[in-house]
Amino acid sequence: MEFCDECGSMMQTQGDKWVCTKCDHEKLRDEAKEKAMVTTQAQEESEVIESEGGTSGLPTTTTQCPNCDNDTAYWYMQQIRSADESETRFFVCTECEHKWREDDH
């Protein structure tokens, strides 16, 4: 990826030049520099493998299920808002598998 020296916008290749998508600034491409760039096409794809038993690998805690009043649930944390916000804690009941969340404030 190349960024414009003039305005900082992302540039695109056009033949032997980099051209700014915003201000049309151009500069010659450097083959050696481009070989060192990491692209998404060069990255290997990863595969998500779920273990049998679903949530059984998650830690448990004592909390009241709002669905069946069971007092044990699996829990995990997940970032669902912007990076400067705290993570959200999710619970899954060990009995009825009801799922709910508790936001950290």
Q: Is 93 annotated as a binding residue?
A: yes
**Total Cβ atoms within 10 A of residue 33:** 9
Is 48 assigned a ligand-binding role in the annotation? no
Q: Is 96 annotated as a binding residue?
A: yes
User: Is 23 labelled as part of a ligand binding site?
Assistant: yes
3-state secondary structure 24-75: CCEEECCHHHHHCCCCCCCCCCCCCCCCCCHHHHCCEEECCCCCCCCCEEEE
Q: Is 41 annotated as a binding residue?
A: no
- The Cβ of residue 73 has, within 10 Å, a number of other Cβ atoms equal to 24
Asked whether residue 65 is marked as a ligand-binding residue, the answer is yes
How many other CB atoms are there within 10 angstroms of residue 91's CB atom?
Answer: 22
Residues placed in the known binding site for Zn(2+): 4, 7, 20, 23, 65, 68, 93, 96
Residues placed in the known binding site: 4, 7, 20, 23, 65, 68, 93, 96
